[in-house]
Amino acid sequence: MNHTLKVALAQISPVWLNKVETLKKVENSIVEAAKEQAELIVFGEGLVPGYPFWLALTGGAEWNTKVNKELHAHYVSNSITIEKGDLDTVCELAKLHSIAVYLGIIERPTDRGGHSVYASLVYIDTDGLVQSVHRKLQPTYDERLTWAPGDGNGLQVHSLKDFTLGGLNCWENWMPLPRAALYGLGENVHIAVWPGSDHNTKDITRFIARESRSFVISVSSLMTRDDFPKDTPNLNQILEKAPEILANGGSCIAGPDGEWLIEPVLHKEGLIYHTLDFNRVLEERQNFDAVGHYSRPDVTQLSVNRERQSTTKFID
């Protein structure tokens, strides 16, 4: 049965900017997915502790204001530091239930000083080991006011049964060269994670599937006005301009022919299941393979730097 893979798309809302409570929701989702014999579970971009919606609602680009400093500090304080064990329970559950996990986090890594944060996509294998941490290469628009740009270290793929998994964060999925890097590594299940909403997922999911002749799993979060915790700093100012719906979901799956297996699911919290059949990849690669028989490496090639970037190198 290595040619089939049961996947769970976790379309859930965060307990916004609360690391501890959001991790509890993640952990509960893993347990629930395991009960349904899922072998892979995927969560949305930056789910823990949530997307920085305040930037578009509080004048996020205004220079040196107290409201933006307070919200940023609160955000950083609730971000994830993997080196300090923040994901240990998630890893233990992955091992206990033999389920692989793609989890979107706001990462506060010690190898960059421990004060800046990155939108990172973490892959945890069925043995509960963190196998890659992909820091978003290019934060989008107002995200740049709170997230730092990442590096190529996380452009990795992972074997799960007959399948080869790779993933990108949000608008990275529109970047042709990172996509090509994953294709070149043999990716045939592309994980695309989003903060939410079908305006992101409805076109690019099918496009990548058709381009790569791979399965594409897009997973988004949910967020409404009611999801802002009452203890959020400067909550009244956030709510002044917040719409009723900030993220409507839109999680979906496209097959290797670019057609829907699961159309975007809106306004519904919970787990979405589907079983992938690896033979569908081989069928669609018959007439197109972007890095195989339908490529010309003698004419065009891609060079990828996967070194983990750091400001300091110490020689003792």
Tell me the pLDDT tens digit for each residue of 218-273. Answer: 999 999 999 999 999 999 999 999 999 999 999 999 999 999 999 999 999 999 99
Domain-embedded: residue 215? yes
pLDDT at 313 over 90: no
Q: Are 42 and 30 in contact (CB under 8 A)?
A: no
Domain containing residue 268: 4-285
Quick one: CA torsion of 239, 240, 244, 250, rounded to 10 degrees?
-70
Residue 21 lies in a domain: yes
User: Is residue 294 a part of any domain in this protein?
Assistant: no
Q: What is the CATH number of the domain that holds 232?
A: 3.60.110.10
| Global confidence as pTM | 0.96
- How many domains does the structure of the chain reveal? 1
Residue 306 belongs to some domain of the structure: no
- Average pLDDT for the chain: 97
Q: Give the count of beta carbons closer than 10 Å to the beta carbon of residue 41.
A: 29
Q: Which residue has the higher pLDDT, 50 or 314?
A: 50
What is the rounded radius of gyration, in angstroms, for the C-alpha atoms of the chain?
19
Question: pLDDT grade, residue 1 (50/70/90)?
Answer: confident
Does 202 fall in a domain?
yes
Residues 310-315 have a mean pLDDT of 90
The answer to the question of residue 293 being in a domain is no
Overall average pLDDT of the 147-153 stretch = 97
Question: Are the C-beta atoms of 197 and 250 separated by less than 8 Å?
Answer: yes
Beta bridge pairs of residue 10: 43, 271
